[in-house]
Structure 1
């Protein structure tokens, strides 16, 4: 079946699903394959659960005229998403980066939705499956789409750009994330700038942080841009007022008080403001969007439990974000500060060095007490009475004494699930 014909059937469906456990009536089910499952085997169940059509790529699972047989289900999903994106002619903003992608995406959406009908990536569905699903969730009512793109290897952003065909783009930063896949920090920069490569090659528009020397250098000859800066008057000026703990800033003499903690979130807010300005959202509306946004899903949340205050930033971690979070935490005007850190994943051969660097940082910043959890942190060389190390979370839990009237930073990679600390409080 040609993509144009499939698209007509898609328009007759309510939405797209890849999981029979989440089937909605009249949806189009795509039978994807994984390491431990074959979606084709669930085609009949999808129809029983209310799917209008099922897209499969193995002939033996054909059931009736509601079954659409294609050569490759995943490739078809991706091609359908691109076709739909062009059918709608919607404006697409793509963003990637090592840290802050999801928060920045949410802030951009909060800002632009003050004036436009927007659709943004749900959660972190930012890979070769999530990006197509985001595009297919857009409708004729959508005016601006905000698509988050994640990657842990070279050429992934390039591929996602081919699917999405963005009109605008923004890179949050270049940090020490997914070093195992990218090979080095230079690999990270090369991989993330695949977004800029696509946009410049197609004469599209780029938003950027003019205080980031890497971005400034990459874009120094490209003019189709809009930059923001805290210090350079050649770009849209935004001033950081404070981050103790919440980020407060000033743009055009308008004060904006966010619900985000940490100076490291300043540029995330700046990106949303400058993108809103480019799309002619009034500054007073931008202020409303920023100030009404509250982080969730374990990202820079402040949670009060009994008489303890927890900064929960346990959604993910890498050396760059860990450094920023700990440094910001050490600058807070609080007493009795405790840090609980979990291992950072996907660092490959750099894992030992980067975990040792974080342990050394804790000593340099004179954190009152730190608990390091995970096999990598357990092997760090730093020895101090202010640092306790545990190989597993259970080891930590069994020896952790509930603090009294303390401020805690909890941060680690997703696989560590450090939000479990809340149960111990």
Structure 2
């Protein structure tokens, strides 16, 4: 971001409480955390139930903020401090909405391509892979962590420079209309949907409604020049394309598929119509650590945006450091973006081979006591829980496998069935011990027992302390432990306890 105080006041509908000493001075960053202020930043005072950002305006100014957005009366002492430091204080109707207003203004200054992605599972991993692939040949800014909400999305845009070549924006959603609202100021050039699963079914009621909400991203792509990246292996692939009217609006489709199934046709459609460009995987195998190795295949990608699709199939060997078959689809999605961006398939495969998992997502850690911890405790839904269990059981482990599973959130009336489904799978897998934490997770335990797992190998726990106590007595060198649950369960404390 490089905007002066008058531009910020104009785009937010704000008025100056204190005018800047230099109206031309550019504010070069934005934060709502006074502890993270850098010289030249704009500090945003967000209201809160427990902590009100207005209480930290003075601290932000002393840390070097050149301006602050406020929506409450400011003490005289703070106004005096702002004048002494030459900083601006701008009163706006709503500081949260103002962040979006500034991002909307800054979006007009960005010359590079903006790529937005969403999906029920794999959003953050795929975003990271897209970032890593594009960064091998281009300047890239991407969403930090999983900051994919109404504050994190605009902050991602504001992090980009005008000449940043690719801006990768992860979009989360909990209800209908939320992705469309984000797209209104992000204005993505390309959009990618990883899949349509069961997360957020509590609010939307059905997978069809979830698909319709995800399709909002494709619906907002620009006519004639937009590109829609869709998972061909997802049973809602045709639905999201049709719901967004991508063909009628001249939005090109790029299909990706990690299922190891070659497309029926490649390059040429019926008559003179070109089939969508495609990226897929063949010859997929897992090594003893559960890391995929496969042949990356592509067809229909021209050398540039204006070129006619090339019918020939391109191939390149590819290996991932990420674990699990489900990451093949994520890699194919990122590869499709990279190839569409003009990168060679070989360069894409090379970039994918260096991509590392993010903390809390299939992160393999060595504990001091000689056992292995697979930290997947950042978040969970039924699809990711099943994928994580399968990946864990594909690992070559010298000792025993133990799974620590906790409650999954945002499932509403579907929660019992979803937890029971996970339990039925767990009961069929080679797990020597299953520890279920939380009220809903007891349904996982019950279903695992019904699926034939020995009740003596199942533990029902109420808290982290119980889990750690059980594991302390049970684990031996060579054993491996998977920890997986929704973030609100706090099972990262189990990981910390085991590793430290």
TM-score after normalising by structure 2: 0.79
The match for 1:385 among 450, 456, 471 is 456
Q: Which runs of 5+ in 2 are unaligned?
A: 1-8, 15-21, 267-277, 297-313, 450-454
Aligned residue pair count: 424
Distance 1:300 1:398, change over 3 A: same
TM-score after normalising by structure 1: 0.92
Q: Which runs of 5+ in 1 are unaligned?
A: none
**3-state SS, counterpart of residue 239 of structure 1:** strand
**3-state SS, counterpart of residue 221 of structure 2:** helix
**3-state SS, counterpart of residue 420 of structure 2:** helix
394-403 or 376-385, which moves further after superposition? 376-385
53-62 or 17-26, which moves further after superposition? 53-62
277-286 or 219-228, which moves further after superposition? 219-228
Q: CA deviation at 1:370?
A: 1.1
Structure 1 partner of 2:69: 55
245-254 or 178-187, which moves further after superposition? 178-187
Please tell me whether the aligned partners of residues 299 and 313 of structure 1 are also in contact (alpha carbons under 8 angstroms).
yes
- Structure 2 Cα separation of the partners of residues 82 and 313 of structure 1: 35
The match for 2:234 among 209, 212, 227 is 212
**3-state SS, counterpart of residue 373 of structure 2:** strand
Structure 1 partner of 2:414: 350
Q: CA deviation at 1:338?
A: 1.8
Distance 1:132 1:68, change over 3 A: same
The match for 1:337 among 394, 401, 408 is 401
Q: Pairwise mapping of residues 5-404 of structure 1 onto structure 2 (< 5 A)?
A: 12-61=26-75, 63=79, 64=83, 66-199=88-221, 204-219=226-241, 222=247, 224-229=252-257, 230-232=261-263, 233-234=265-266, 235-244=278-287, 245-251=290-296, 252-305=314-367, 306-334=369-397, 336-378=400-442, 381-382=446-447, 383=449, 384-400=455-471, 401-404=474-477
Distance 1:326 1:174, change over 3 A: same
Please tell me whether the aligned partners of residues 340 and 371 of structure 1 are also in contact (alpha carbons under 8 angstroms).
yes
Structure 1 partner of 2:10: 2
Distance 1:187 1:10, change over 3 A: farther
Higher relative contact order (CA 8 A, sep 6+): 1
- Structure 2 Cα separation of the partners of residues 340 and 202 of structure 1: 49
Please tell me whether the aligned partners of residues 141 and 164 of structure 2 are also in contact (alpha carbons under 8 angstroms).
yes
**Structure with greater Cα Rg:** 2
Please tell me whether the aligned partners of residues 207 and 225 of structure 1 are also in contact (alpha carbons under 8 angstroms).
yes
**3-state SS, counterpart of residue 322 of structure 2:** strand
- Structure 1 Cα separation of the partners of residues 283 and 152 of structure 2: 34
Q: CA deviation at 1:200?
A: 6.5
- Structure 2 Cα separation of the partners of residues 203 and 285 of structure 1: 25
- Structure 2 Cα separation of the partners of residues 161 and 10 of structure 1: 30
Query: For each residue in 1:385-416, what CA deviation from the matched residue of structure 2 results, as whole angstroms up to 9, or x when unmatched?
Result: 22211121222222222233123322111122
Please tell me whether the aligned partners of residues 174 and 188 of structure 1 are also in contact (alpha carbons under 8 angstroms).
yes
RMSD of aligned C-alpha atoms?
Answer: 2.4
Instruction: Extract structure 1 runs of 4+ deviating beyond 6 A.
Output: 8-11
Q: CA deviation at 1:269?
A: 0.4
Please tell me whether the aligned partners of residues 371 and 475 of structure 2 are also in contact (alpha carbons under 8 angstroms).
no
197-206 or 226-235, which moves further after superposition? 197-206
- Structure 1 Cα separation of the partners of residues 436 and 70 of structure 2: 47
Distance 1:184 1:309, change over 3 A: same
- Structure 2 Cα separation of the partners of residues 377 and 135 of structure 1: 38
Please tell me whether the aligned partners of residues 189 and 222 of structure 2 are also in contact (alpha carbons under 8 angstroms).
no
279-288 or 220-229, which moves further after superposition? 220-229
Distance 1:138 1:109, change over 3 A: same
